[in-house]
Structure 1
Amino acid sequence: MPAAPALTPLAADYMEQQASGLLSGAVMLDPAFSVHRHAVMPPAGLAWLKTVPMTEPVAAAVHALAGDGGDRFSFLSQEERVMALAASTAARLIALYEPTEALQRLHKVREVVSRP
């Protein structure tokens, strides 16, 4: 199987921007969200994260985001940042919805963003 082609810098930047926006949207979906306090990830999302294999740098960034500490990205590659944002988004959605419904919602988002 041939390797996947490398993303252009513009495509990689777009992917990171989209992943960041998805995480912001997932945070704001939480009924307990308030701009007046940290957006700490609910326990169900933290429990799900324990089942996801991640490299140590990505895991550190994801756990910082779970506690609403966002300044752990400077040492990550762009690919690792996208992975951390995506894992954080999935965990927050799973904390809000049953895993099956969260997966359905993620598929709908994927369909929309993958349209030309």
Structure 2
Amino acid sequence: QPFTRSLKYTVDQPLTRDVKPRSTLTVHFDTGGGKPEPADQNFATPNGRVKRPSPDPAREGFLFDGWFIGQIAYDFSKPVDKNLTLTAKWTLKSRNSTWSISPDKGSQLGGESTTITPP
């Protein structure tokens, strides 16, 4: 059977809204001399996510390794909860400036160990 009940209640505290305007969070990109320099990204709402700048910056004589905070690569899936500066990390190009994998061809049956070597 349907159930219907009327309830009366009172609130013992006045309802208030947050009177302070929310601050805008900013993510700045420091390319360390690379070009192009991405524009800052601003977030007026909490838990926004940084869009990875495209294209990646380029710098003569260096390889771009990614965007970092200190020594830690930035996770673009994390929500922004404070102002950030993301810094481009660069590796000096050398003769061996490509990734390598050994062995470069494996058995059709699999089961082999593989070594991946960064530049």
Q: Under a length normalisation based on structure 2, what TM-score does the superposition of the two structures give? A: 0.22
Name the one with the larger strand percent: 2
Q: Under a length normalisation based on structure 1, what TM-score does the superposition of the two structures give? A: 0.22
Higher relative contact order (CA 8 A, sep 6+): 1
Work out which of the two has the higher radius of gyration on C-alpha atoms and give 1 or 2.
Answer: 2
